[in-house]
Structure 1
Amino acid sequence: MVNVRRAGQAPDLGTAETDPRTRDRVLAAVSQHGPISAARIAADLGLTPPGVRRHLDQLAADGVVEDREPAAGKRGRGRPAREWVVTEAGHDVLPAGYDVLAADAVRFLREAAGDDAVTDFARSRVARLEERYADEIDAAGEDPAARTEALVAALRRDGYAATARPVGAGGLTGVQLCQGHCPVQHVASEFPELCDAETEAFSRLLGVHVQRLATLAQGDHVCTTFVPTPSPAPPPSSTHRPPTTRERRSR
């Protein structure tokens, strides 16, 4: 269902500005209209300038956008608003027409060499990911939750918009790892082997068996993976022995 915002109605900050896809929309706006200010992006996307600036600051921290002073003809009184442009690294993460090419290549691989070849390709691809991430995750220690946080940091650098939060109660506790962006989403919708191989790689990196609950490729709003963590140990129980008859008499 599409939410239509009436003229003059404030945007729903609980959905629009926290939607994992909003960051991609901000980046697309900079790509299409840059140099562009945060206020202009906010007006075009129906968001608030502070919300847009938060996304821009994160994109700048990731190295995909940068700010610059406005051209002399645009300067007015007071402090000039920063204008944003996409960096060279940012152009690398923007969609180009490679989804179609990649799907065609994997489709040809399946037709020429069979399903096993696609599986081998998917595992080979994530093997390189494992190799890049392994040392950083190992440095986080043995705790699955700490290792998941390290994995989140690594995934963010690769443009996956990853987050993690604790979930569960009682006997089943864990961490929910979410990825709001996937560079191979459209190809994986036809070739789920890519998602399966990534899930297997997460299990190996984190040292526990993880469970994939949802994927962007299947039409969900976010890729969600459950990472089990050890339940807190119960407090030691104190054993109470009723006093014997002799002990009661001696009191």
Structure 2
Amino acid sequence: MAVKPDADVSTRDNILRLIIERGPITSAELASMLFLTSAAVRRHLTQLETDGQIAEYTGAASRPARRGRPSRRYVATSLGQATFGDSYADVANQVLSFLKDSLGDEGVNAFASQRIDELEARYTGIVDEAGPDPEARAAALANALTRDGYAASVRRGPGDMTLQLCQGHCPIHDVASSFPVMCEAETQAFHRLLNVHVQRLATLAGGEHVCTLTIPLVSRIREAEVRKETHDTNPA
């Protein structure tokens, strides 16, 4: 039986959303998440690539590759990101441009601070309910961000010493491209919410395929340091 066009589009939208949220991602991973055949996923990927909404990722892999021909991994393009855009960005751009012309950088900084204070106030209770565990707090923050349209997820960093908070979509990335203070204010808010020093590695506003924030797992780092000190003091 032929697939209905509207169902086809809905499936393609789901694939694009997953690429935005989880990319770089392979067709096999998408098929597993959506309970589809690999052939069906590849058909949608071909169409999305033809439409200019996704592209093959050419950066370094986050984990060692298996033997054999490497699988193609996909990320969303700026056109794909815009599919799930937010009209707020247009308004915010106009407001910030007006504030900069009228009040200079102080006006822009005040706007960014007010916006991020509201976000932090909404998220504080949600993150605190997760308890003291850093992974649980990061997951709670990611869930809250996703509900606000940021397509966020948490991944383990290299060596399991860090977490990576990834935001596959940003409703204001066009604004942040012109006014980087928006990203800076957000990073400081995440530092306060997670109660640990965090570092921004990449941003959509800066042209990357995802916003990436590194969160150190302090207890794991300390354990590794203790093991190293013990080994150095008492070598085998």
Q: TM-score, normalised by structure 2?
A: 0.60
Using the alignment, how far apart are the partners of 1:158 and 1:193 within structure 2?
20
Return the offset for 1:231.
4.0
Alpha carbons of structure 1 residues 114 and 140: separation in structure 2 relative to 1, 3 Å = same
Aligned residue in 2 for 1:128: 118
Give the letter aligned to residue 191 of structure 1. Answer: F
- Identity over the aligned pairs, expressed in percent? 45
Tell me, yes or no, if the aligned pair for 2:21 and 2:152 is still in contact at 8 Å: no
* 1:164-200 residue CA offsets vs partner (Å, 9 max, x unmatched): 1111338xx1100100000101011000010000000
Which range moves more in the overlay, 205-214 or 99-108?
A: 99-108
- SS of structure 1 residue aligned to 2:215: strand
- Number of equivalences: 164
- SS of structure 2 residue aligned to 1:218: coil
Higher relative contact order (CA 8 A, sep 6+): 2
Return the offset for 1:114.
1.2
Aligned residue in 2 for 1:160: 150
Return the offset for 1:101.
3.2
Return the offset for 1:230.
1.8
Alpha carbons of structure 1 residues 199 and 17: separation in structure 2 relative to 1, 3 Å = closer
Q: TM-score, normalised by structure 1?
A: 0.56
Aligned residue in 1 for 2:179: 191
Using the alignment, how far apart are the partners of 1:16 and 1:218 within structure 2?
21
RMSD of aligned C-alpha atoms? 3.5
* 1:30-51 residue CA offsets vs partner (Å, 9 max, x unmatched): xxxxxxxxxxx99676469xxx
Check if 1:147 corresponds to 2:140. Answer: no
User: Which runs of no fewer than 5 residues in structure 1 stay unpaired?
Assistant: 1-14, 24-40, 49-92, 241-251
Alpha carbons of structure 1 residues 114 and 17: separation in structure 2 relative to 1, 3 Å = closer
Aligned residue in 1 for 2:170: 182
Which one has a larger percent helix, Structure 1 or Structure 2? 2
Aligned residue in 2 for 1:222: 210
Aligned residue in 1 for 2:31: none
User: Which runs of no fewer than 5 residues in structure 2 stay unpaired?
Assistant: 1-14, 24-40, 49-82
Using the alignment, how far apart are the partners of 2:158 and 2:135 within structure 1?
13
Give the letter aligned to residue 20 of structure 2. Answer: P
Alpha carbons of structure 1 residues 155 and 97: separation in structure 2 relative to 1, 3 Å = closer
Using the alignment, how far apart are the partners of 1:149 and 1:155 within structure 2?
10
* 1:129-178 residue CA offsets vs partner (Å, 9 max, x unmatched): 111111111111222222101101111111110011111338xx110010
Give the letter aligned to residue 196 of structure 2. Answer: V
* 1:190-233 residue CA offsets vs partner (Å, 9 max, x unmatched): 00010000000000000001100000001100000001112432
Alpha carbons of structure 1 residues 196 and 17: separation in structure 2 relative to 1, 3 Å = closer
Give the letter aligned to residue 185 of structure 1. Answer: H
- SS of structure 1 residue aligned to 2:19: coil
Using the alignment, how far apart are the partners of 1:146 and 1:181 within structure 2?
22
Using the alignment, how far apart are the partners of 2:144 and 2:88 within structure 1?
23
Whose Rg is larger? 1
